[in-house]
Amino acid sequence: MRKLLPRILLLLAVAMAAAIAWRGCAVRRPVTEGKYDLRTNGIWLQHGWLGDDGWFLRNRRDRSRFRNDARIRELSLLLAGHGVRDVFPHLCPCSPDGRIAPADSLQTERFLDGFSVFRVLPWVGGVSLKHCFTDSAAWRGTFVSSVAELLARHPRLAGIHLNIEPVPDGNEAFLLLLDELRRAMPEGTIISVAAYPPPKGSRTFSNVHWQQPYYAEVARRTDQIVPMMYDTSVRSARFYRHVMRVWSRQVLDWSGTTPVLFGVPAYEDPGAGYHIAEAENLRNALSGIHAGLDAYRAPPGNYAGVAIYCEWEMDGSEWASFRRAFGKKPERVSFPPPAPED
């Protein structure tokens, strides 16, 4: 018995630690009165809203679904009614030489006409070492000039949303790219970055994590941080909510005064490998973020809301879930009447 006693005590200690940790993962029921909905949310949009003819031909897609004033107005009313301000229309991937994916100029202006009350930030970038070679000065130069040309051609664009995957923690070339973009982009335009979540203890839940010093460096060079708080491989809904609670506070604290939109998942993609939809979904993400914000006396000034990934996965039930778990009552939104045709 004397030999067994230390083992029994060790097992009891492990069990008690596990129970305490599990209780620490508990997150109370979602807030439903919309107190954290600042009406400055974001959302990622499909390529067709800005894409050129070549994209439609290569992917055998119907242009009429996107190049349609009624559809643009329908989408703008839906998003504005749910507190979305920033939209990230897909314009990826860039070519290996650094040129961003081509946009259709007439369609871009048509889209901007319908989205005049939003900030439109084309989503540019691609996969590291396939489309994006940030270590190359030549690649960065082409990419930066390509972005600057797009913004000069369409001055109503608010800026860009940069998404390069992966970007390892501490990557100096990515910081250099941000500096070069800042110098080249028109004054007053926005650099938004799809960022990576912090680490969580000794475990990792996605391909890449950024530590506090790197968050500060990226935030200092940008106007908006949008951490991708999904693809975590977490299988427990309770634990995913806990991770969201911890990450939300860390990102806000680490980003200084740079505005933060929390990227939340609204998709089911079992083939992705890192995404377990039963745990990692819109409802659980928002519940965890609520718990993180509740820990403050008032949310920090750099908290701006959430960004939904992605619009093309949002159906009526997903929008209803968003309203219940996060949003204020949808507002009636009025837009300026369309300009008369010549």
Q: Give tens-digit pLDDT for 292-338.
A: 999 999 999 999 999 999 999 999 999 998 999 998 765 555 555 55
Instruction: Supply 36's token pair.
Output: 């954290």
pTM of this structure: 0.88
Predicted local distance difference test score (pLDDT) of residue 10: 52
Q: Contact 263/230 with Cβ under 8 angstroms? A: yes
User: How far, in Å, are 170, 209, 235, 244 from residue 205 at the CA level?
Assistant: 18, 9, 10, 11
% of the chain at pLDDT higher than 70: 83
Helices 316-325 and 282-294, axial angle in degrees (round to 10):
20
At residue 233, the pLDDT reads 87
- Residue pair 94/136 in contact by the 8 Å Cβ criterion: no
At residue 257, does pLDDT exceed 80? yes
* Confidence label for 203 from pLDDT (cuts 50, 70 and 90): low
Q: Round to whole Å and give the CA distance between 45 and 88.
A: 6
Sequence-ordered list of residues with C-beta below 8 angstroms from that of 43, at least 6 positions apart, any chain: 79, 84, 86, 87, 88, 307, 308, 309, 310, 311, 314
The residues that bridge with 260 in the sheet, in sequence order, are 225, 303
Q: For residue 13, what pLDDT is reported?
A: 46
Residue 183 identity? R
Q: Which domains, ranges and CATH numbers included, belong to the chain? A: 36-195 (3.20.20.80), 224-325 (no CATH)
The predicted structure's pLDDT at residue 172: 98
**Selection from 236, 217, 213 nearest residue 225 by Cα:** 217
Q: Which residues pair with 128 in a beta bridge?
A: 132
